[in-house]
Amino acid sequence: MKVLMFGWEFPPHISGGLGTASYGLTKGFLPQGDVEIKFCIPKPYGDEDNSFLRIVGMNSVPIVWKDVDSSYVESRVGAIIRPEEYYRYRDHIYGDFSYMNTNDLGCMEFAGGYPENLHEEINNYSIIAGVVARTEEFDIIHSHDWLTYPAGIHAKQVSGKKLVIHVHATDFDRSRGNVNPTVYAIEKNGMDHADHIFCVSELTRRTVIDKYHQHPDKVTTLHNAVTPLSDDIMAIEPKKIPNEKVVTFLGRITMQKGPEYFVEAAAQVLKKTRNIRFCMAGSGDMMNDMIKLVAQRGIADRFHFPGFMRGRQVYECLKASDVYIMPSVSEPFGISPLEAMQCDVPTIISKQSGCAEILDKCIKTDYWDINAMADAIYAICNNDSLYEYLKVEGRREVDAITWENVALKLRRLYEQVMAH
């Protein structure tokens, strides 16, 4: 089976959960042996893991015919694409895009990530998708998140193949309800054109059905999983402060993640006990407000903001923690608690998180219930048996949630969609 996937990011260059999920999901197909995946992203860096799929860099697919020789192509974009492929794509240019801002290879540049001109990039991405869809052979199209829905629709119209879209988040999650009409329109259009919709949680599925008016039969929940941690990460020695406990929040400090509830819960806990430290790692538009709030509550001596973390730092921080907390107001899935559980850290999550649907060995509270959250923090820090139980059983539970199983389920769903 050949799958053409449209995504926006891929490890190691990622800024959110989308890249992690894209990686896990595609790698999960590996044991099946007969699934060929072409994964399109705007701007590959050349160091992506190509062993189980083929990355297609949209910034090296031409849309305007240029007479360039093989060695030139090799020298310009050799790390991303082989010259013969470049020529193959060049043979399938389908219109006159010379009015577009293209480079010497006839390709469009992408800034990568989520720049200011995102909407323009989304549009460019879908123009290029037309070339890719005309060139490649595939059985089904799979679009990840709204950024790539237009590309998916375009590819569907060109090839006549079925389109499935994967909703990793909706704008209702990102904005606590104040949706951006342009984004909503792109999302809705993608869903309307899709033959089937996958959602990362039942929570998201409900949003898709209720807010985007999709037929329930067309929408399936496909929970995310987690990739096992590498040995060198597992080998990180936890740095623990004697007689002190550390409670960690790790993520973007934005409205969606509910950071203020964490601060309020911390203030409650610190009224009763002083040997607990709180750590809010990450950055975001609410960070300064949070620093102010911490100062107002008079707990700044016990509440720390180490800033944005990446790669290994994330796991060092997790391993040094005694409790991980994710008080998200609305979280389509939320992969970070699973990572914390992989690092043997007892976890508290809000009931409004998608991952709450598949996790049992963690404490769940309402995001607004700061008393319950405080109580849970206090209990884990003061009861060794609860700490041990959640640590051991949590690890066991999360180790059983694998991408291979998700890929098996997805394979069946693909076949169902293709049969209709």
Q: Which stretch binds another protein (CB under 8 A): 66-74, 121-129, 290-298, 388-396?
A: 388-396
Of residues 240 and 272, the one with the C-beta less far from another protein: 272
Of residues 349 and 406, the one with the C-beta less far from another protein: 349
> Is 263 in contact with 295 (CB distance < 8 Å)?
no
Applying the rule CB under 8 A, the residues between 51 and 90 that interact with another protein are none
The DSSP bridge partners found for residue 70 are none
Of residues 192 and 388, the one with the C-beta less far from another protein: 388
Of residues 128 and 267, the one with the C-beta less far from another protein: 267
Of residues 120 and 388, the one with the C-beta less far from another protein: 388
Sign for the CA dihedral angle at 120, 126, 131, 136 comes to positive
Of residues 117 and 371, the one with the C-beta less far from another protein: 371
| Under rule CB under 8 A, residue 247 binds another protein | no
Of residues 386 and 413, the one with the C-beta less far from another protein: 386
Of residues 51 and 385, the one with the C-beta less far from another protein: 385
Strands 347-350 and 323-326: parallel
For another protein (CB under 8 A), the number of binding residues is 22
Query: Any idea which residue has 């998201």 for tokens?
Result: 204
Task: Compute the least distance from the CB of residue 201 to another protein, in Å.
Answer: 18
The pair of three-digit structure tokens given for residue 95, joined into one six-digit string: 């219109």
What's the rounded Cα separation, in Å, for the pair 255 and 262? 12
| Under rule CB under 8 A, residue 388 binds another protein | yes
Task: Compute the least distance from the CB of residue 348 to another protein, in Å.
Answer: 9
With CB under 8 A as the contact rule, the residue among 77, 265, 390, 406 that binds another protein is 390
| Under rule CB under 8 A, residue 233 binds another protein | no
Between helices 287-296 and 259-272, what is the axis angle to 10°? 20
Applying the rule CB under 8 A, the residues between 261 and 300 that interact with another protein are 268, 271-272
What's the rounded Cα separation, in Å, for the pair 370 and 267? 10
Of residues 289 and 357, the one with the C-beta less far from another protein: 357
Task: Compute the least distance from the CB of residue 343 to another protein, in Å.
Answer: 19
What's the rounded Cα separation, in Å, for the pair 71 and 407? 39
> Is 390 in contact with 383 (CB distance < 8 Å)?
no
Which residues, at least 6 apart from 371, have a Cβ–Cβ distance to it below 8 Å?
268
Which residues, at least 6 apart from 168, have a Cβ–Cβ distance to it below 8 Å?
17, 18, 21, 144, 145, 200, 332, 333
Of residues 133 and 398, the one with the C-beta less far from another protein: 398
Instruction: Select from 126, 110, 37 the least CA-distant residue to 77.
Output: 110
Q: Which stretch binds another protein (CB under 8 A): 38-46, 53-61, 180-188, 360-368?
A: 360-368
Q: Looking at residue 4, what DSSP letter applies? A: E
Helix (H, G, I), strand (E, B) or coil at 235: coil
Applying the rule CB under 8 A, the residues between 361 and 380 that interact with another protein are 363-364, 371-372, 374-376, 378-379
Task: Compute the least distance from the CB of residue 327 to another protein, in Å.
Answer: 16
Q: Using alpha carbons, list the distances in angstroms from residue 146 to 57, 79, 267.
A: 18, 28, 38
What's the rounded Cα separation, in Å, for the pair 345 and 338? 10
The pair of three-digit structure tokens given for residue 331, joined into one six-digit string: 């979280």
> Is 203 in contact with 387 (CB distance < 8 Å)?
no
Strands (E), 43-144: 54-57, 140-144
Q: Which stretch binds another protein (CB under 8 A): 14-22, 28-36, 241-249, 383-391?
A: 383-391
Of residues 41 and 269, the one with the C-beta less far from another protein: 269
What's the rounded Cα separation, in Å, for the pair 292 and 287? 9
What backbone torsions phi and psi does residue 251 show, to the nearest 5 degrees?
Answer: 165, 180
Task: Compute the least distance from the CB of residue 205 to another protein, in Å.
Answer: 22
| Under rule CB under 8 A, residue 358 binds another protein | no
Task: Compute the least distance from the CB of residue 394 to another protein, in Å.
Answer: 11
With CB under 8 A as the contact rule, the residue among 70, 296, 383, 405 that binds another protein is 383
Task: Compute the least distance from the CB of residue 387 to another protein, in Å.
Answer: 10
With CB under 8 A as the contact rule, the residue among 160, 242, 385, 412 that binds another protein is 385
The binding site for another protein (CB under 8 A) comprises 268, 271-272, 360, 363-364, 371-372, 374-376, 378-379, 382-386, 388-390, 393
